[in-house]
Amino acid sequence: MRLDPPYLESLPVEILCSIFRLLDPIGLISISQTNSKFRTVIQPKRTHLLERLLELECREEVGGVTPVFRSKDNHLVPDFTSKEWHDMRWACSICLKMLPYIAFNNHYILRLQYRKPLPGSPAARSYTSWESTRDGKLRRPYHIHKQQSNSKDEDRKIRRRYGLASRCNTLRPNHPVRDKGARLASFQDSGMITFQGFSLDEYCSITQEEEQVLLDHEARLIERERCGFKRHLRKCNECRFRRGELSSTVQRGTDKVPIVPS
């Protein structure tokens, strides 16, 4: 007698859960919409829908290319006027929609922790907080950077390091040598990787352009590690208005019709 092959929905719930927890956010929501049994097992929450959108915005076919922003001179690739920029989409954590740039304040798409993560960076990795547990408690959603156990002191040091690397584009002092020594010491004390091991003589021998290349490299290292970890808090202007978050920041217009520059 020929036996029919087993169907996925015929598997015990324990095995289904073991399979589902291996899925990325897009696959998890997709399979939850396959049939009522899978939806009952997964019970997707708002958090899981948001994680799906955060994954989709990193897919070029959905969210467009990932822009690269250089904060020291506000250089943006691709440019604001390009077709690629108009085709990009970002996820709003409140209305759960993929929206164009005109729907957001610039801070919500260009600030380091709100930006789309660079391909291959920690925040760009597929991540879902779904976990089937008896007590119903889920893992903390999307706080990957907290899992790295960075203390507040370490976070503060990284922010200072990034501030120096991304904004320290003033000319180096030509003399005296002690001013250059103080500048090098500030770089090394902040934890800059590219300047560790430099002697004062070696630092004095590099040109302004060579120093800027090192600073740019340092900034990119930090951006790759820290970019995109607050995307789950990003809000579009419409949602901010509906939640009353624009009334206290209105610079032009009225509370009912605010005009807020990006």
Residue 178 scores a pLDDT above 70:
no
Which pLDDT does position 155 carry in this prediction? 80
Asked whether the beta carbons of 81 and 87 are under 8 A apart, the reply is no
Predicted TM-score (pTM) of this structure? 0.80
Structural domain boundaries in the chain: 8-143+229-233, 152-226
Q: Within 13 Å of residue 191, how many CA atoms lie on the same side as its CB? A: 14
pLDDT (0 to 100) of residue 261: 65
Mean of the pLDDT values across residues 172-195? 78
91-89-241 Cα angle (round to 5): 55
Across 114-118, 180-184, 203-207, which has the greatest mean pLDDT?
114-118
Mean per-residue pLDDT over the chain, rounded: 84
Task: Answer yes or no: are the C-beta atoms of 198 and 184 closer than 8 Å.
Answer: yes
Which pLDDT belongs to residue 59? 95
Q: Residues of the chain with pLDDT > 70: what percent?
A: 81
More confident residue, 90 or 6: 90
**Predicted pLDDT of residue 71:** 81
The pLDDT value given to residue 33: 94
Query: Residues 240, 241, 243, 244: is their CA dihedral positive or negative?
Result: positive
Token pair 């290349």: residue: 213
Q: Stretch 79-108: mean pLDDT, rounded?
A: 95
The Cα 114–Cα 229 span in angstroms is: 7
User: pLDDT per residue over 24-81, tens digit each?
Assistant: 999 999 999 999 999 999 999 999 999 999 999 999 999 999 999 988 888 899 998 9
